[in-house]
Amino acid sequence: MMKVYHRLILLAASNITKSAAVVHNVHICKSSYRTYWETNVCGRQFNVACLSHFCTRTEQDELCWEGPNHDIMLKRLESALLDCKDYEAWPIFSKFTSLYGFPPPAILSKLISGLSYSSDHSSLPKACNLIFKVAKENSELLEHDSLSRLCLSLVRAQMPVLASKVLRLMVQRNCVPPVDVLCSVFMHMVKTEAGTCLASNILLEICDHFHYLTEKRSECAMSMKPSTTIFNLILEACVRSGSSLKGQQIIEAMARIRAVADVHSVLLFTYTYEMNGLRDELKKLKEYVDQVSLPLARHYVHFYDKLLSLHYDFDDIDAAASLVTDIYLLWGSRPLHPNEELMKPCKVPIGSPYLKEGLKVQVMFELLQKDFVVHVKGQEEYVALKNGKLILTSKGLARLIVKYKRRGRITEFSKLLVAMQKNMGTAQEENLCCDVIHACIDSGCLETAHDILDDMDMANMAVPTSTYMLLLNAYREENMSKEAEALVKQIKRTGLLIDASDEIMVSKCISGVVHGSVVEPNTSRQSELTEFLIVEMKWGYNKAPSKVYELNSSMYFFCKAKMMEDAQTTYRKMQELKIQPTVQTFAHLVQGYLSLEMYREITILWGDIKRFMDHGCSLANRDLYELLLLNFLRGGYFERVMEILHHMKEHSMYADRWMYNQEFIRLHKNLYRKLKAMDVRTEAQRLRLEHVKAFRKWVRNN
């Protein structure tokens, strides 16, 4: 019997040695040995203590039966996490995982939270790798709170790429962080260009996922719906970084998921539409903004400023004059109390209101939420708020004067000026007409100044003698004797010359004896206005010819209505007129072709874009590149994909690899996966295989 026991001991020792080699000489699967003893020793009780010489002292406790050791390690792990000893918790966790798999969700959540708040920044990537591993093997173990905390810690540590991966993992699990946490995450992300790109793309993905869950009538759909504050936060980042095309997508996403816009949203819509040259979209908003109560109206100053800017860009002087009239006449007629109709969501169309599939964004024009403030306002360019009233700035007034002057419509301008003058309430600004005349004289526009003087007389507007003297002196300096004599007759006719001393002063002014002594000193507004008048007459403010704005506006309408033949005709007209297209020109066309899945036509557009860029046209825009890249991925044009990625790299533009990879997996997951270079049949297939491999390699470097 002793020999049998001796053999069993040797056999057990041999098995232990072999097993220890497999599990790195430490970790032994205790349950298998327990089963071995129970089934092979015929029920005899065997003293386990005799095996103790096979173990070291530190490992002896871990060679106990499974139950006690499992519980001991869990307690040690919990204790280390409770004491915030990350350096102890991680080795215990690693050892536990190799033996028993992942711990319960509660403990796993504590570990992720501990790593998230660790002072060691290397703990954050470690936590990310852990959650992606858990998500791959058993995603049910991950708790939303721990993922939210990790995401917030990553953006605070300026790791937006890792944070975006965690956020996207949560979206795939039909959840997002709580609204306040998500706001904080996005607020940190949008501090950089890469973070703004990622945040805007993730918001669009959340909207798409919410729309999908809503159609499926999922119970968790409403928890995925982004708040108005989040939309405002991302929209502001897009405006600040100049991502106008992405901003337009965000606005359309708001309409698609029926998010309600507020006062801040309207202001951000205004900036986005102005950058994209979408004047008609601002006109739709204006009919509501004009009805906003006086206390809230001051928040819409920039709306009127940007709308007037677009009227100038379109070279639409009649629309500009109409808006200026509204600014001066309608401001004081606003109600003092909120308009009840505007306190409810108003549906404002995006694109043509006659489209069957057109979008409508819901806006509450009287809703001002205090949890967000727009920081991109800057200084008003053409319209400003002064003494509680809207007025034209010197720059806005100068541009208006020059546009009327170039059309020979000074009489109409004078009527507008008289209307503006009559509605100026403060004594300080009662000399608006005189300031305009003086600025015209100082800038050399003597004929214009004289025409305005005549119109002032016809309208029975009082003009000081000093204004006539200033013009008379300017005529003398320019040796314009005939004009001077005509002005003297006009002065006498108006009855401004009362006594002989006035007659003598006029005579001296004509003969050149008197210089500037009869002229009152310039006001600050007059000096400012003179400066802007000179610049406007010499250079102008047009960023592009007005015709391009009109043609782009037409293309936008045709592309939204999927009338691509008309859009192509407009594009050809632009080429015939030798008008240089803008980023918006190509963006409208690309989106129109995308709606009809006409990918080949987009490749032709890409050729046009490259030709224009070769001739110095500024079309290197990240939003446009992203739009083209996504469409080429969908169409399978991988040579074009790699070409655009090369252009983005040349211009140091961030590329959202995760998004492109997801699109690739969705459509081309197994493309050429088993095909080798030696098996290709044509040169075209060989090149395409190379481009697909190059794209896969680029994506893996994320």
Share of the chain above pLDDT 90, in %: 55
Residues in contact with 538: Cβ distance below 8 Å, sequence separation at least 6, in sequence order: none
Name the residue with higher pLDDT: 668 or 18. 668
Say yes or no: 463 and 569 in one domain: no
pLDDT band for 544, please (50, 70, 90 cuts).
low
Which range in 26-30, 169-173, 521-525 is most confidently predicted, on average pLDDT? 169-173
Give the H or E element holding residue 390: strand 389-392
Residue 646 forms part of a structural domain: yes
Work out the number of other CB atoms within 10 angstroms of the CB of residue 341. 11
Closest CA to 431 of 398, 464, 473, 401: 464
Residues in contact with 1: Cβ distance below 8 Å, sequence separation at least 6, in sequence order: none
pLDDT tops 50 at residue 469: yes
Residue 139 forms part of a structural domain: no
Phi, psi of 249 (to 5 degrees): -65, -40
Residues in contact with 643: Cβ distance below 8 Å, sequence separation at least 6, in sequence order: 606
Q: Which residues of 656-673 are buried (b: 16+ CB within 10 A; e: fewer)?
A: bebbbbbebeeebeeebe
How many domains, in total, are found in the chain? 3
According to the model, what pLDDT value does residue 506 have?
A: 54
Q: CA-to-CA distance for 283 and 100, rounded, in angstroms?
A: 66
Q: Domain boundary residue among 358, 384, 407?
A: 407
15-29, 75-89, 470-484 — which is least confidently predicted? Answer: 15-29
pLDDT band for 515, please (50, 70, 90 cuts).
very low
Residue 462 forms part of a structural domain: yes
Say yes or no: 425 and 436 in one domain: yes
94-98, 221-225, 339-343, 515-519 — which is least confidently predicted? Answer: 515-519
Closest CA to 46 of 19, 6, 94: 6
C-alpha distances in Å from residue 670, one per residue of 136, 680, 686: 20, 16, 16
Say yes or no: 341 and 439 in one domain: no
Say yes or no: 581 and 680 in one domain: yes
Name the residue with higher pLDDT: 33 or 216. 216
According to the model, what pLDDT value does residue 687 have?
A: 87
Q: Domain boundary residue among 465, 496, 527?
A: 496
Q: What average pLDDT does the segment 282-287 reach?
A: 95
Q: Are strands 346-350 and 359-363 parallel, antiparallel or unpaired?
A: antiparallel
pLDDT tops 90 at residue 660: yes
Say yes or no: 488 and 580 in one domain: no
Say yes or no: 282 and 348 in one domain: yes
Residue 74 forms part of a structural domain: no
Name the residue with higher pLDDT: 370 or 276. 276
pLDDT tops 50 at residue 89: yes
Residue 209 forms part of a structural domain: no
pLDDT tops 80 at residue 27: no
pLDDT, tens digit, 9 for 90 and up, residues 297-325: 889 999 999 999 999 999 999 999 999 99
pLDDT, tens digit, 9 for 90 and up, residues 339-382: 888 889 999 999 887 777 789 999 999 998 887 777 777 778 99
Domain of residue 306 covers: 227-407
According to the model, what pLDDT value does residue 369 have?
A: 85
According to the model, what pLDDT value does residue 678 have?
A: 66
pLDDT tops 70 at residue 520: no
Residue 517 forms part of a structural domain: no
Q: CA-to-CA distance for 288 and 269, rounded, in angstroms?
A: 14
Say yes or no: 388 and 254 in one domain: yes
Amino acid making up residue 534? I
**What's the pTM?**
0.84
Say yes or no: 683 and 595 in one domain: yes
Share of the chain above pLDDT 70, in %: 84
Amino acid making up residue 286? K
According to the model, what pLDDT value does residue 522 have?
A: 57
Amino acid making up residue 612? F
Length of the chain: 702
Q: Domain boundary residue among 464, 496, 528?
A: 496
Say yes or no: 238 and 324 in one domain: yes
Amino acid making up residue 585? T
According to the model, what pLDDT value does residue 525 have?
A: 72
Say yes or no: 243 and 328 in one domain: yes
According to the model, what pLDDT value does residue 505 have?
A: 54
Long-range contacts of 156-162 (CB under 8 A, 24+ apart): 156/188, 157/121, 157/124, 158/188, 158/191, 158/192, 159/124, 159/125, 160/188, 160/189, 160/192, 160/194, 160/195, 160/198, 160/199, 161/194, 161/198, 161/702, 162/124, 162/125, 162/128
According to the model, what pLDDT value does residue 563 have?
A: 93
According to the model, what pLDDT value does residue 459 have?
A: 84
Q: What average pLDDT does the segment 199-211 reach?
A: 96
Decide: 327 and 392 in contact? Cβ < 8 Å: yes
pLDDT tops 50 at residue 29: no
Q: Supply the DSSP symbol for 21.
A: H
pLDDT, tens digit, 9 for 90 and up, residues 585-610: 999 999 999 999 999 999 999 999 99
Q: CA-to-CA distance for 273 and 284, rounded, in angstroms?
A: 12
583-595 vs 599-614: helix axis angle to the nearest 10?
170
Residue 123 forms part of a structural domain: no
pLDDT, tens digit, 9 for 90 and up, residues 608-618: 999 999 988 88
Q: CA-to-CA distance for 12 and 584, rounded, in angstroms?
A: 78
**Helix (H/G/I), strand (E/B), else coil: 100:** helix
Q: CA-to-CA distance for 639 and 557, rounded, in angstroms?
A: 31
Q: What is the mean pLDDT of the chain?
A: 83
Residue 278 forms part of a structural domain: yes
Say yes or no: 334 and 354 in one domain: yes
Looking at residue 648, which CATH number applies to its domain? 1.25.40
Query: Can you say whether the dihedral through the CA atoms of 257, 260, 263, 264 is positive or negative?
Result: negative
Say yes or no: 242 and 282 in one domain: yes
Decide: 232 and 181 in contact? Cβ < 8 Å: no
200-204, 396-400, 446-450, 494-498 — which is least confidently predicted? Answer: 494-498
pLDDT band for 498, please (50, 70, 90 cuts).
very low
pLDDT, tens digit, 9 for 90 and up, residues 226-254: 999 999 999 999 999 999 999 999 999 99
pLDDT, tens digit, 9 for 90 and up, residues 143-187: 999 999 999 999 999 999 999 999 999 999 999 999 999 999 999
